[in-house]
Every structure is written in structure tokens, then in C-alpha cells.
Structure 1
């Protein structure tokens, strides 16, 4: 059974393909489990292709056939594979995290995100996040000059002991990135996310030698995973983009084997996928703060949130399955 949905964003979301004001997707239900597909063009298949794949999956006779119908549509496969995991966990009467791992965490640290602003406003926003309990704050960079961005991060460092992250969204050249990494040393910046274009994997290999790590995000869409691991200190794993919680978990474990640290995030998903990502993060030991505090990007949701952010953490629901109660036939 499938059900389409559209949710308004609390504020417009700028992307490489333009600004979006809503998040649309499809819920998929089978055998008592529910999954969510919320595609984001440029990262996943289109909403139209996602819907076509899920209609084929809905008509399939079994789970294997349903998953096969979505093989070329990662968001659709996310929904089907999550519905399968949810059904299995509910049948076993355990939370999804406990279905994924023997000793999952009870809660997961999450980072706050601060957008572009001048140094004073950036520092104030970072301090407010730290006062709210966040130990890690990601600051968007790249829209201003390097001098301005360094000053913003220096001002943020001056007002808090919180760990900082910088997200450049591929805005820097190799020369600017090298200078940035040198100047950010000593400012509690754990890593810079996607400092160069996603296409420039080789350029990323030359960064990260000054105490500031390299995190790759968009590069996972355009390169083989093994090559990304060879160029990164951290990988930003979005289950919706990777084709499911199951595949994201495999990617996280593979990263750990390569001495690369995984960070689980969302693509501004609705409550089912967002909560499933929380279960995934809980199933992986000792993760750094994850990018799961995205519920406030939505003006409304289609079901109650069982894991709101409090003091910079999200508590994993202890109900069977992913813990979100939603009717697909509504």
C-alpha cells in the first residue's frame, strides 16, 4: 500500500537545482511495516520516478521482488527496505536499533546548524546552540570571502567550547581550501564538509593535514564509495540517498574498517525516515554528532515525532520497529 504526501517547509531550502518550499514523497506499507521515500532531485531519483518504482513494488508478490523493483531508485528502495526492517522489528517486538545491532545506544548526539551571517550574528547563533545543549555546531561557509568566514569561525570559537564544523558545499577552489585549512587550525573545527566540488576527489586527498579533517557528502553521489573513503576523514551518510538504512549501515561499517568516521544525516526527511536514521545512528557505536536535528525545517509533519531533540541529543524510541505510528491508508 502506498500513500503520497506533501509537507511545507518552515523556510525555503536552497539547493543546487533551485529553492524548494515543500518536501514531497510516498509512504510504503507491507506486512505491518512502514517506510518513507522523500526524494531530492540531484541526490536521488525524481518524485515521478520514485512513485513509479513504488507502484511496481506495491504490486510485487514478495519482499525480494519489491526491492528489485526499486533497484535504480534509491529513495524508493529506502521506503521498501525500511518497511521490511520495520515489519521484522515489530514482529520481533524490538526497536529497530536493537534489530540492527545487539547493543544499540539509548540516545544519539546531534549537531545544530548555523547558516550564513556576519561574524557577530554567527557567534550569537553558535552560543545559543551551545546554551541549548548542543556540543557540536555546523556553520555554513563559502558564500563569503575566506577572510570573512575565518573571522566568523574565530568569533564562534571565542564564545563556546563546542566542537565546530564548517560546511562549504563545494564552494572553494583548491588554493582557497588549502589556505582555509591552515587558518582554521586551533579553532575547534573538527572538519570541513565538502570543501571542493564533488567532482574533485583528487583535490580532497591533499587536504586535512593541519588538524582539520575532510568530510565528503555530495561526492558520494558521483564517485565509487571506495574512492571516496580513500579521500576522506569523515563520510556523511544519508540513508535516503544510499538506498536504505540497511545500505547506509553497511557503508558506515565499511568506513570504520577504512579508518574513516561515518556521520549519519537526513535529506530533510519526514518523521518516518528521520526516526529510522536515528535508529541507524544508535546501532553504530560511538558516532560523532549526527545531522538528524532537521525536524524544525518542516512546518508540519504527517505523524507525531517520537524523538524530539533535547539538550543536543535524540532519545531512541523504545517501541517496536521505528516507533512512528502512521496510517498509510488515511
Structure 2
């Protein structure tokens, strides 16, 4: 196993629980098994994963001491993700199958629908951005809320529904910004407007509060809570109708699909998103989504946030969806230049 560090700028700073991020630093992973090179990516995002230094230490340890033991993957999620993805890519290439085909228990999807994301602009900007997304072909739109006064956010949700029409799925994402009374009020507004769900209405630690918000006519989705508490605790608390699953934060494609299976057994839906990863992990996440039965619109339309990337994107968004690469492994021959040692 070999790895090399990369650093990619963003088109604009990304706000996270740990402050603004203006670059994505990570590692490109190569694992060679029986002459087949698999690619992976470890791009940690503190608050969801380990730090970049912790990730590098975990990769170095595994490369030096445990590379011969496939079961002994690192505990650090981003490091584990990179190695697990590279191993799965090598397996798929050896089998001459797309990655989704070896991840799925049944037929995998050829196309994965995406949601567009509308930022926390004014009422007028929200309406315009929603309308533009729908006209571009998106059948699901997520509206960022929580940065403005509740009255304004309520008006923004109404404007989004008016702009989208009745047939487009709408979602809202508060990023944990609300207290309980505000969340109750805005969830009721979202329910009246037939929103599918509201993501992370309360702080990440408040599983009981999220459980109490369920059943108001609109789903409760958890993202930051999943990273903080883990899938087992979130599911045991019956705190969510939807889990927002980031393969980088969950430790790899197979880890993510295991969470999805356990969620499904409890009647909880899953959508797949990224931690604003580079193209290898992003396309890997497309395959993870394609391996889900009846995949919902996912949040993988994040490549445009990067000012540069490791390689051209072999799975661009067209008409609000991504066609899953059909070649062997992650993307057939598209990443051959990355497979060669530099």
C-alpha cells in the first residue's frame, strides 16, 4: 500500500462545527493485490473524522505493520475509508465489475438522483435558486436554514415550495441551529408545505430532543448526530426518520452499507452525501448510493465546491442525476493516471 498527500483549494470557505475550511487536505491511496491496483482516498474533516495528522499516522501504521491482514483496518474513519475503498476497487477490477455491483446484494442502480442545495440567501434568492435547480432537472432540492430569523426562514420555505411546484421533493437543513420551540414551529411549517424532511434541527448531542420531534408530519434527518454518536446510538434512541450517511465519516463503502442495512431494518431511510471529498471518494460514494435498494436523491453534487481536483470527474451531474460509471472498479480507465506511482 502506498499513499501520497494532496491539498485542494475550495471556491469559497466551507463552514463547519470547527470553523471555516478553505482547503481539503487528504491522501490518495494505492493498494496492489495480485497485480491489480485499487484506488482509495482519505480526506479527513475534523468534527466528522480524525485530524489529518491522525489520519496519516493510521495510514502509516497500517502500511507498515498490518497491510497483510485485510481484517485489521484502522479505527480512524477517514484512514479506514481510504483503505477499504482501495481494496474494494481492486476486488471489482479483478472481477471486471463496477464497484457498485460487488457492493450490492442485488441489482445496482445505473443512475443516482441528486438533490440540489440552496444556500441561506434572502427569500427572493431562495426562490430564484430553487427555480433554477428545478429547471436544471433536479427533482429534489435542499434548502439551508437556521442562519436567519425563524420568520424569515418560514417565508423562505414557502418561497421554495412556490418556486418548486408540487412535484419536487423539498428538504431543509438547519445544521443544528435551532432550539426546541423554534424547531417545533419550523417543522410544522415544513410539514404544511409537504417537505420530505428537516435535517439536524437541534444540536448534535440532543438525540432525545430529535426523537420527540418525530411524528409532526415531516421527517427528521440526522447528520452531525450520526458523526457524534454513531449509528447504533442514533437508531437505539429512535431519533431519526432518515440517516445522512457520509462514507468518509463512517469508515468506508462497506461500513456505510452496513449502517444502511441496519437502518432499513428499523424503517429508517438513508441518503448518501460527502464531506466535500476529492473525485476518487466522491465517485466511490456514487457507487455506494447505487448499491442501495430504491436509492433516494443523494447529496453528492459537491465537486463544484473544489477549485481543483485530482482528476476530471467521470461521473458528472446531468439533469439532476449522476450516471454510475460502468467500467471495472470505481471508474474503469478514467483514473489510470492516478493508479501509477508518481
Q: Match for residue 138 of structure 2?
A: 134
Q: 1:106 to 1:69 in 2, by over 3 A?
A: closer
Q: Match for residue 78 of structure 2?
A: 75
Structure 1: gaps spanning 5 or more residues? none
Q: Match for residue 29 of structure 2?
A: 28
One of 244, 257, 280 as aligned partner of 2:265 = 257
Q: Match for residue 171 of structure 2?
A: 165
**1:295 matches 2:303:** yes
Contact kept, 8 Å, 2:179 with 2:202, in 1: the verdict is yes
Q: Match for residue 53 of structure 1?
A: 58
**1:236 matches 2:234:** no
Shift of 1:64: 2.4
TM-score (norm 2): 0.93
Please report the RMSD computed on the Cα atoms of aligned residues, expressed in angstroms.
1.3
- Please give the alpha-carbon distance, in whole angstroms, between the structure 1 residues aligned to 2:214 and 2:266: 16
The alignment partner of 1:58 has SS state of helix
- Please give the alpha-carbon distance, in whole angstroms, between the structure 2 residues aligned to 1:47 and 1:328: 24
The alignment partner of 2:23 has SS state of strand
**1:104 matches 2:108:** yes
**1:196 matches 2:208:** no
Contact kept, 8 Å, 2:38 with 2:339, in 1: the verdict is no
Shift of 1:221: 2.1
> Per-residue displacement from partner, 1:169-198 (whole Å, max 9, x unpaired)?
000101111111112223131100000001
- Please give the alpha-carbon distance, in whole angstroms, between the structure 2 residues aligned to 1:219 and 1:63: 34
Contact kept, 8 Å, 2:73 with 2:83, in 1: the verdict is no
- Please give the alpha-carbon distance, in whole angstroms, between the structure 2 residues aligned to 1:237 and 1:142: 21
Shift of 1:227: 3.1
One of 186, 189, 192 as aligned partner of 1:186 = 192
Shift of 1:224: 4.1
Q: Match for residue 89 of structure 1?
A: 92
Contact kept, 8 Å, 2:214 with 2:239, in 1: the verdict is no
Number of positions where the alignment pairs a residue of Structure 1 with one of Structure 2: 328
One of 249, 253, 277 as aligned partner of 1:245 = 253
Higher mean C-alpha deviation, range 189-198 or range 173-182: 173-182
**1:282 matches 2:290:** yes
Q: Which runs of structure 1 show a deviation greater than 4 angstroms over 4 or more consecutive aligned residues? A: none
Shift of 1:63: 4.6
Q: Match for residue 128 of structure 2?
A: 124
Q: Match for residue 4 of structure 1?
A: 5
Contact kept, 8 Å, 2:48 with 2:228, in 1: the verdict is no
Shift of 1:60: 3.6
**1:225 matches 2:225:** no
Q: Match for residue 272 of structure 1?
A: 280
Shift of 1:20: 1.1
> Per-residue displacement from partner, 1:181-240 (whole Å, max 9, x unpaired)?
112223131100000001111001111323210001111122242331211000000000
